[in-house]
Structure 1
Amino acid sequence: MSLNLGGLFKIFALIGGFMGALFSASRRGAKSSVLVHFSEKPASLKICRPDGSVSTESLKSLVETRCASLFSKFNPVWWLFSGHLQTIYCVLGDFSKTDVLQYNRQLIRLEEGGTLGLDFAPADHSKVREDAPIIVVLHGLTGGSYESYVRSILVPATKPVEEGGLGYRAVVVNYRGCAGVPVTSSQFYSAGYTGDIRQALIYISQLYPRAPLLGIGFSLGANILTRYLAEEGEQSRLRSGCALACPWDLAKNNDGLRYSFTGRFYSKAMATNLVNLVERNLDGLSKFPDALIAKYIPTVLKMKGSGALLDDFDNTFTRIAGGSAPDFPFETAYDYYRWGSSHNVVSKIRVPYLAINAADDPVVQHVPMDGGGNGLVCMALTASGGHLGWFSAGTGGKIDRWIKAPVLEWMSLIGGAVVHPTSSAGRRIYLENGYYREEGRDGGCKEIEGGGLVEASSWQGVNLQGL
């Protein structure tokens, strides 16, 4: 049967109420606590002082003094007292009039044939310095630049300094088929495939060669970001990473969804989003009848309304179309999960990295907190907040997002105080046959027509947002 959103909300409200009543007594004091972990030997970073001098300070000291909000109490708004309710509000809440943002979209064509949509903010960037830091955003499972959790960060980050913002530029990398980006090849995206973000960063780097690039990923995007940073190491084009609600161990967290009563609701919702995404992009996919994925599309379409779970979809579609050879296709979804996880690569990251999860996240139930023993890594775990929620009581009775302050402080620290190398990060970029390429690697990207101004609200409602 089809997914009834109102019914789903009522079910989780009942569950949330029951769980809240059951555990409120034992967790009342813990709900606002934040667990923060650093390596025993935190890395040292060069910092530019207000007087122009340069000094060295440990990552731990810098986070404690300049990202103080990370250690502040998170008190959920009273009627979103459980992780389920926080998550469901993120999914079903009306944020159309909150953090309103306009983007300027640039489509880029990859040499393999795929298309990405890069949404730049502010749309009128004429007053933004060419060397202003750029926040590069990787969204969640089937989302895009319209997501409320994305806008909650980018609106204050791209607001001019004189208006209380950071004065940064931002670009959201919309995946193949997401947020109106056309599907122009038989390949999709996945939690583990980093080829697309690598190409997007090549394009952004050549467009703004003097600007430091700061990465932030949400949910699936956090996993992609983490894997990219680990794979690139010291060659990373991103000078930092911030991972929110990262799913880490894809196999374990999928089991948490499949084998729990409440988890299956979320798993079905995510599978429904993905099936809808394939359905919306049938015109594009149908142009590749000889591709391996073509024979599986009818099976995917039959999943609509069938109660299929996330790993049912992944076992049919993602394991085949979620990336390029030689890694893809995989034999099973679990082979893909084991390959695409990020919990086991954190030790390889070579730039400052902050990860924040919520202990009551019903989607991500297994969170590693050791940071791989990496001195450049800070891991934080809030007692509550759900999946990409972190809704707290704001001023004037309004709802705010607790996560906004620590993330903006982190971006301000990395983009404004940390001294970055003067040379461009990453391998040399060159232009050949119309494509921007990276020295020593296959593939390339180029600008194509079809972009323009995009309202953040344009694609709201096409999927369950926030997952």
Structure 2
Amino acid sequence: MTGGNAHSALNGFRAAWWLPGGHLQSLRRKFGPGVTVAQEGERLRLEDGDFIDLAWVRPGGEIAPGDPVVFVLHGLCGCSESLYVQALQHHLLARGIASVAMNFRGCSGEPNDKARSYHSGVSADADQVFRKLRERLPGNSFHCVGYSLGGNVLLKWLAETGGPVGLDRAVSISVPFDLAQCSAALGRGLTRYYGRYFLGRLQQDLAAKKLRFRETGNEAELALLEELGPLQDIASLWEFDDRVTAPLHGFADAADYYAKCSSLPLLAGISTPTLLIQSADDPLVPAASLPDPARLPENVRLELTGAGGHVGFFAATGSRLEQAAADFLVC
């Protein structure tokens, strides 16, 4: 592809000797330790009356006209306080770059106001929030970083819009390009423990939302959740998507959801300069589901490392991920 930083911080990446394998790299990112950064919260109202919470980091407390702004999308069961989001915002702050992390619906520690929530294809929410940001900061350049589920949302959004007006560059990290393959992987081997974790979190969020709707008298939205029927017997992420995600968001079933929201078949339609950062030992993303570099458009580059896990990429000197992403965005 043209542009970008040819000398990536991930060139020749070698995992720290004490973090061998994709599982340890992934768990290190999840459980830390990690840096934190002071974030300023903001609540945006969406066109359907629901809300989305943002987390801003502004160098010097303000954003001057012409300054770059990085829009950040987190992963499944993540939020703006996830260590990987804060690590990026901390790194950008040190370089004098503003950033704003978007919490998907219901991910900011408070149930959202609608029965619907978020999923791997909620590009319309990202687009709506981005348009509001652009209206507020028309003289600024924007870039976007998406992690895992958020990366799939990002790539789908880029392809659907032909490149959002005002978005200059994008980086996706550890993306589940083929949702069906990745969902199946979460039910096999050691990776099934990640699947159980995600399923438990999603079930907890759903229960909290039902309780919130009962307490606030939100009968119409509660009825939509009750129509799903008993859900205690759900045993896999695929089954959750089939019985909860799909019906709540207008899909026929899990297969229909996966087919319509996977970013893999959409990559050829991306016109924005984009870097795809992936690891061959990612326990959540099977190597067979990765895109063929030869079939990517010239403006899209796959940076595939042999190690790094899922949103890991820890070398002996620390994480290389934040520098690699930032270098591409603001080279």
Both proteins in one fold, TM over 0.5 = yes
Cα gap change, 1:341 to 1:361, in 2 (>3 Å): same
Q: Tell me if the contact between 1:122 and 1:158 (Cα under 8 Å) persists in the aligned partners.
A: yes
Corresponding residue SS for 1:268? helix
Distance 1:201 1:371, change over 3 A: farther
Kindly provide the CA deviation profile for residues 348-381 of structure 1, in whole angstroms up to 9, marking residues without a partner as x: 1111000011111110112113264311101011
Which residue of the partner structure matches residue 209 of structure 1? 138
Matched, 1:153 2:120: no
Q: In the alignment, which of 178, 184, 192 is matched to residue 264 of structure 1?
A: 192
SS of the residue corresponding to residue 381 of structure 1 reads strand
Distance of 1:279 and 1:86 partners within structure 2: 31
Q: Distance in 1 between matches of 2:192 and 2:274?
A: 31
Superposition deviation, residue 235 in structure 1 = 4.2
Matches within 5 A, 1:70-85: 70-71=10-11, 73-85=12-24
Amino acid in the other structure paired with 2:202: L
User: Within 2, Cα distance between the matches of 1:319 and 1:275?
Assistant: 15
Q: 2:271 aligns with which of 320, 331, 350?
A: 350
Aligned-partner Cα distance in 2 for 1:125–1:182: 29
Give CA deviations for 1:58-108 in whole Å, capped at 9, x if unaligned: 33xx532xx43232x222122210111112222333x3xx32211111101
1:282 to 203, 210, 213: 210
Give 1:368's match in structure 2, choosing from 288, 291, 301. 291
Contact 1:244 1:356 in 2 (8 A): yes
Task: Tell me which amino acid in the other structure corresponds to 1:369.
Answer: D
Q: What's 2:308 paired with?
A: 385
Counterpart check, 1:404 vs 2:322: yes
SS of match in other structure, 2:100: strand
8 Å contact kept, 1:296–1:316: no
Q: 1:235 to 1:257 in 2, by over 3 A?
A: closer
Deviation at 1:285, TM superposition (A): 4.2
> Which among 293, 298, 309 is matched to residue 224 of structure 2?
293
Q: Distance in 2 between matches of 1:196 and 1:318?
A: 16
1:8-56 C-alpha deviation (Å, 9 max, x unpaired): xxxxxxxxxxxxxxxxxxxxxxxxxxxxxxxxxx4xxxxxxxxxxxxxx
Counterparts of 1:234 and 1:385, CA distance in 2: 29
- What is the DSSP-based 3-state SS (H/G/I as helix, E as strand, rest coil) of the residue aligned with 2:264? coil
Letter in 2 for 1:119: A
Q: TM (normalized to structure 2)?
A: 0.92
Distance 1:81 1:104, change over 3 A: same
Map of 1:136 onto structure 2: 71
Q: Distance in 1 between matches of 2:93 and 2:294?
A: 30
Paired residue secondary structure (1:70): coil
1:244 aligns with 2:244: no
Alignment match of 1:222 (pick from 143, 147, 151): 151
Indicate how the Cα distance of structure 1 residues 146 and 123 shifts in structure 2: closer, same or farther if over 3 A, else same: farther
CA contact under 8 A between 1:222 and 1:246: conserved in structure 2?
yes
Instruction: Choose the corresponding residue for 2:258, options 337, 360, 363.
Output: 337
The alpha-carbon deviation at position 383 of structure 1 amounts to: 0.6
Q: Is the 8 A contact 1:142 1:277 kept in 2?
A: no
Aligned-residue RMSD, C-alpha:
2.0
Specify the structure having the higher radius of gyration (Cα): 1
Residues 157/218 of structure 1: CA separation in 2 closer, same or farther (3 Å cut): same
Contact residue 227 and residue 345 of structure 1 kept, 8 A: yes
Cα distance, 1:190 vs. partner? 0.8
> Aligned-pair distance for 1:401?
0.7
Query: Residues of 2 paired with 1:354 and 1:251: CA distance?
Result: 23
SS of equivalent to 1:378: strand
3-state SS, counterpart of residue 299 of structure 1: coil
Tell me the secondary structure at the aligned position of residue 362 of structure 1. coil
- Does the CA contact (< 8 Å) of 1:137 and 1:172 recur in 2? yes
Task: Quote the Cα distance in structure 2 between the aligned partners of 1:285 and 1:194.
Answer: 26
The normalised TM-score by structure 1 is: 0.66
In structure 2, the CA distance between the partners of 1:353 and 1:115, relative to structure 1 (3 Å rule), is: same
Alignment of 1:28-107 (within 5 A): 42=1, 58-59=2-3, 62-64=4-6, 67-71=7-11, 73-93=12-32, 95=33, 98-107=34-43
Distance 1:333 1:288 in 2: 27
Match among 311, 321, 331 for residue 238 of structure 2: 311
Letter in 1 for 2:5: V
Cα offset, 1:221, TM superposition:
0.1
Amino acid at match of 1:89: R
2 CA distance for matches of 1:334 and 1:281?
25
Q: Which runs of 5+ in 1 are unaligned?
A: 1-41, 43-57, 160-164, 395-399, 414-467
Counterpart CA distance in 2 for 1:178 and 1:90 is 19
Aligned length: 326
Deviation of 1:297 after TM superposition, in Å, equals 5.7
Identity %: 27
